[in-house]
Structure 1
């Protein structure tokens, strides 16, 4: 059943009604974006339709189009939300913090995101494999700026002896590849690991293995 929305161009009855309308709009947008994420991650951008997204969101197509004019607008909004979520832990790396603990927190956050939102990771991977037609400008500007900034932090940690020598950009690439593997290649992981994937403790074991390999290699040598 559709969540009721006011018609475009309708009159608001007052501040309370406007706040209620805004809350409903926010809820509906989130419903649409969650549904779109699932549809896009399965069918890709070209194979997905607004009708499929509306059906997954349990909305009528006209109701959905009240919020997003085109499929392209929905796709961009989903990708922008995914990038905002993923980059927050990277941006939060504290130059003044303990390097190993800062990287431990970052890797753990990325593994949690891969486990909790595998569809988002797969959608982003498909966008990159397609040549990043939607987020290419973002990758070359905002993402590059953030990664360069955090690479400079890692470089300082290395130069002051707080981390073992490592190329900071390749370290970040390796963290991305390792943590997102469990989402992007879930079918392969399940083919090899079988029912272990769904057993209690598997995520914790995964995190411990990844953290041990990465952090032991980064700890300063005597």
Structure 2
């Protein structure tokens, strides 16, 4: 890779930042379907080590072997979901982000069927860890692709959007687990509140979280 190309890639990675846009009233609807489909196509080049279980690939409309799924909501769907949440008394920040979003991506990952009783969300196996890591790489690709196009974005843990009822509204199979709800916002946010991430400048220098290994075979 030449220096110019490396500089472009490095620049996008460093430019990526959390941008949370909160609107009390819905912003004008923007048709971003074409852009979102570009982002998803790019995100799909994430590495994955193991293929998804047949329980995920042989049922439903999405049959890819990759261990993640992206469920896409355009701006009208975001506004409709916002309204339902408000009517149900949701006072979290989710409705305010849905009021501002041009789109939202429900990014899920596909755990293997458990071999026995499970405590927690999924069985803690090596294969499931690899599925989860691959899905995380796909989400990061999505964020970087959005950043490269000047699309403000926010990776949310999902809150109410990970509940079974929300999965039902969106037609997401119960066997999938939400990794994050990725909100995509317009460049023009009007009078909406815009909040940056709180940890961006606290990660420290690379020497705080990386080290060269010195092998010791006497241990």
Relative to the length of structure 2, the TM-score reads 0.27
Q: Of Structure 1 and Structure 2, which has the larger fraction of its residues in helix? A: 1
Relative to the length of structure 1, the TM-score reads 0.27
Q: Of Structure 1 and Structure 2, which has the larger fraction of its residues in strand? A: 2
Structure number with bigger Rg? 1
